[in-house]
Structure 1
Amino acid sequence: MAVHDMQQVELPSLPHWETTPDDLKAAIREIKPALRARIAASGRSVEEVFAVLEARIFDAVTEIEAARARGEEIWPAIDYADIEAGTVSAGQLDKLRRRGCLVVRGHFPHEQARAWDAAVVDYVERNRFFENYRGPGDDFFGSVGSKPEIYPIYWSTAQMEARQSERMATVQSLLNSLWQYDSEGVQWFDPDRDSLYPDRIRRRPPGSNSGGLGTHLDPGTLDLWMTEAYQKAFRHLFDGTIESYNPYDAAYRTAGPTYPGSTMCSAFRTFQGWTALSDMDHDQGVLHTVPIPEAMGYLMLRPLLSDVPEDDMCGVTTNQVFPASEKWHSLLLRAISGIPDVRAGDSVWWHCDMIHSVAPVHDQKGWGNVMYIPAAPWCPRNEAYAASVRDAFADGSSPSDFPAEHYERDWSGRFLPEQLNHIGRRGLGLS
């Protein structure tokens, strides 16, 4: 059946759960045959649809393996000066889209980033953070080793200055513009206005031993198959039109619910990101990704194949990160690639659906310090979350996506509302 003919077929509706199902295994046993039946109604089997996507993924994996064998850098790198001047080449943009990840060189001046790092140290020391630290507030970073490595700090002047800077907004706009954000008569998000999504700081000292983080991804868990909005967002995976699947399509992704959990993200992020506050070599426990945005389609369809138990989604469940494993996803993991060396002031970005990990390290050389700042464009989902961010900012609380540790409520030197510029105000929904 031709692709254009599939669009005319009456497809069966899917069951959906807008809140976490009470019986997860029963819901999985219900959704899997329903998804298979919907695909079959298009005139293609799950195996046929998966084979089309698998062939695309295989080509991307082998291209990355060949580039690695030639000694080429897998991660694209673009100078901030070219982004600011609008002189990024078509070839650079094409590689960025294909790989779905980026290092921005000189995003901030080196000395500015170093100064922010020193300011963070001053902020936590003057407020006796280390004397009062109560240990990790969640299990996600339990393997990283140093105590603490992840600082549950959100409202330092350094973090807020970076979040509301013109230079950050410029890069976020470029990344947002890679997406198809206007379709079906709807503008799904504003590419030139980001919500201010507060996240934490990582500071890993020299000599550290870190177990790293295993391969996983962060856009959601079972809600990706089970909520109506995500079923629409991934419609081309489930209606036989796999050739039209576009990992940069924002349709239906900017308003849907997310199942609660310790690793949830209430905001829609086009790209996850962090800004380096220290120089880091590529072999010192750094970020790795599978630089193939279409791999999300593979992850979504793989549980529907016959070799996966009927009550299992390749290990995906609620209250845990979405895993990527050798058992189910070995083809994808062949492409995993680490960032190149970075300097303080560089920033690192990866598509929100991407498999990623942090490599382990023994006796780390130099500091490994970053502040997490994503691209999270203004949309209904992010506008709703901004209300809770405003409340947390007002009294120094931990944002609602994160453990309720609230270290900063009575800290001195916290960033104040009167220090917000126009970018900060609009990012909080105050403009």
Structure 2
Amino acid sequence: MDPNPLPSRFLQLKREIISMATGEHLISAWGDLLQEVAKRTDEIIQQGHDSIPQVNFSDLDALSSEQIDAIKRRGSVVIRGVVDSTEAAQWKSDLVEFINNNPHAPGSFPEGDKQFFHLYWTPSQVRARAHPNVLKANAWLNKLYHFKSGKGADGVDLSVPLVYADRFRIRHPGVQWDAFPPHVDGGTIERWEDRNLRRCFQDILAGNWRAHDPYELEHRLDARSSLYGRPDQASVFRTFQGWLALSETAPTQGTLKVFPDVVISNAYIMLRPFFRPVVPLDDPTILDPKNWELDTSTPDFPGIIPWNTGFIGPRPTPELHPHLRLDKTMTSVPKVYPGDMVFWHCDVVHSVEQEHTGANDSAVIYIPAMPQTPQNLAYVQRQAEAFLAGVNPPDFGQSMEGVTYVGLAVESDIKEPAGRLAMGLPIQVA
């Protein structure tokens, strides 16, 4: 029996969605998809780290169409040399000093040895987000998205990057992390439950998964990725998740892992709830399409887990999502250096390595790419109020009452117009 059963109302949701396509069409699409998944997973396993594109920041405006297509298909990229390595390394030193000056700063992983910090307004973070090269990289990524109609939408400007304040980590070697298994951000059950977010995957759910475009903007603009208000669940539209490296980090040293094919993983995860195996999960023939059947009688959405008043996930696992072969296809990003940035599409399956076998800290500041849209701009304005008050951003757990920190960033730390615009601050500094 499922130890985390979903509410029975999700059976009706599943039936509502499946009514939009014939069962025969979905069964045919599922079989076609599984054949393609088998092919792509073989390729990913063979390519290893080479399946993740790597480009230089200085070359962003001169990449070939083939390079851009590879980035879009993989849904992930390493951008080298976004920030000067010395400056990035200094930001890490400053973060260590901030933590030493504020031993009460909240953090986790593991208990008694804080390494993942729930801090948002340290000078290092604020300056990194406002760095002109970081903003340029974010805008470049935002512009990989498009409107199929070509008409655009009021209030949307992909060339204007906005700041989404997130946390940072300084991970110590030799300490195991189990908190970030393979998962997808940007909506949990909302991917099916919210009508606008669901429309982003309408081709998949209609049985036409090959027509799915993960870079089409229209329905993402009004999608609600946080229906239940769970803390740490983003309510904005981020084109790419990302982080800025403050130290050298290589595979096996606590770095990021991704499933490097956003189209295939989207199609599989979105269709998986509508099919169930007819053999045990540990049966050696589990991957055979003939051993799966349409499921319209259970509320199951594999990988979606009830959590407090909301849900977490999708969390695909080798058992529940066997065709993705996650034990072999989750691919560590290549070695990075201070000032490099790593980005992954908001739908990409990703995780953090459990082991850190290196000799030094693995430190990053989380900086996603977020374009100017009406929804995002409204959030940034609320976020700016939180910054000026020195409290946590709206999407995150609220600050403890009465807690103060020594050395938080202030408004005057953001001087350049682009950085102030991205933070929702007035351009003229008083």
Query: TM-score band, normalised by the shorter chain?
Result: 0.7 to 0.9
- Give secondary structure in 1 for the equivalent of 2:320: helix
Residue pair 1:82, 1:88 contacting (<8 A) in 2 also? yes
Aligned to 1:167: 133
Residue pair 2:172, 2:360 contacting (<8 A) in 1 also? yes
Q: How far apart are the structure 2 equivalents of 1:134 and 1:161?
A: 21
CA shift in 2, pair 1:44/1:247, >3 Å:
farther
CA shift in 2, pair 1:336/1:115, >3 Å:
same
Residue pair 1:146, 1:209 contacting (<8 A) in 2 also? no
2:321 to 304, 329, 341: 329
Point out the more displaced range, 25-34 or 366-375: 25-34
Question: Which structure 1 segments of 5+ residues have no match?
Answer: 1-22, 137-141
1:51 to 18, 31, 36: 31
Aligned to 2:119: 153
Aligned to 1:268: 237
Aligned to 1:9: none
Aligned AA for 2:97? D
**In the alignment, structure 1 residue 90 sits paired with structure 2 residue 58:** no
Aligned to 2:291: none
Shift of 1:330: 1.9
Correspondences of 1:55-70 after superposition (within 5 Å):
55-68=35-48
Shift of 1:382: 0.8
Q: How far apart are the structure 1 equivalents of 2:74 and 2:362?
A: 24
1:403 to 363, 386, 397: 397
RMSD: 2.4
CA shift in 2, pair 1:115/1:367, >3 Å:
same
Correspondences of 1:14-413 after superposition (within 5 Å):
25-40=7-22, 44-68=24-48, 73-83=50-60, 86-126=61-101, 129-130=102-103, 132-133=104-105, 136=108, 147-181=113-147, 183=149, 185-187=151-153, 189-211=156-178, 213-257=180-224, 258-259=226-227, 260-294=229-263, 295-307=265-277, 310-317=298-305, 318-332=310-324, 333=326, 334-361=328-355, 364-405=358-399, 410-413=404-407
Shift of 1:359: 1.2
Shift of 1:304: 0.8
Residue pair 1:255, 1:379 contacting (<8 A) in 2 also? no
- Give secondary structure in 2 for the equivalent of 1:73: helix
Aligned to 2:292: none
Aligned AA for 2:238? R
CA shift in 2, pair 1:292/1:362, >3 Å:
closer
CA shift in 2, pair 1:184/1:362, >3 Å:
closer
- Give secondary structure in 2 for the equivalent of 1:25: coil
Residue pair 2:161, 2:371 contacting (<8 A) in 1 also? yes
Aligned AA for 2:216? D
Question: Which structure 2 segments of 5+ residues have no match?
Answer: 278-294
Q: How far apart are the structure 2 equivalents of 1:361 and 1:324?
A: 20
- Give secondary structure in 2 for the equivalent of 1:404: coil
CA shift in 2, pair 1:57/1:209, >3 Å:
closer
Q: How far apart are the structure 2 equivalents of 1:225 and 1:240?
A: 15
Shift of 1:362: 5.4
Shift of 1:174: 1.8
Shift of 1:199: 0.4
Point out the more displaced range, 54-63 or 266-275: 54-63
CA shift in 2, pair 1:146/1:375, >3 Å:
farther
Cα offsets for 1:273-318 (capped at 9, x unmatched): 0001111121112110101111112101110114466121013143
CA shift in 2, pair 1:173/1:146, >3 Å:
farther
Q: How far apart are the structure 1 equivalents of 2:138 and 2:411?
A: 23
- Give secondary structure in 2 for the equivalent of 1:344: coil
Point out the more displaced range, 46-55 or 378-387: 46-55
Residue pair 1:263, 1:319 contacting (<8 A) in 2 also? no
Moved over 6 A (4+): none
Shift of 1:337: 0.5
Residue pair 2:196, 2:219 contacting (<8 A) in 1 also? yes
Cα offsets for 1:56-112 (capped at 9, x unmatched): 3333222222323xxx622111011212xx222333222211211111111111111
Instruction: State the TM-score, normalized to the length of structure 2.
Output: 0.85
Residue pair 2:117, 2:169 contacting (<8 A) in 1 also? yes
Q: How far apart are the structure 2 equivalents of 1:409 and 1:164?
A: 26
Instruction: State the TM-score, normalized to the length of structure 1.
Output: 0.84
Q: How far apart are the structure 2 equivalents of 1:327 and 1:410?
A: 45
Q: How far apart are the structure 2 equivalents of 1:323 and 1:417?
A: 38
Q: How many residues align?
A: 393
Residue pair 1:29, 1:311 contacting (<8 A) in 2 also? yes
CA shift in 2, pair 1:57/1:182, >3 Å:
same
Shift of 1:135: 5.5
Shift of 1:210: 3.1
Aligned AA for 1:298? Y
Residue pair 1:145, 1:209 contacting (<8 A) in 2 also? no
CA shift in 2, pair 1:197/1:62, >3 Å:
same
CA shift in 2, pair 1:364/1:212, >3 Å:
farther
- Give secondary structure in 1 for the equivalent of 2:218: coil
Residue pair 2:273, 2:301 contacting (<8 A) in 1 also? yes
CA shift in 2, pair 1:362/1:414, >3 Å:
closer
- Give secondary structure in 1 for the equivalent of 2:182: strand
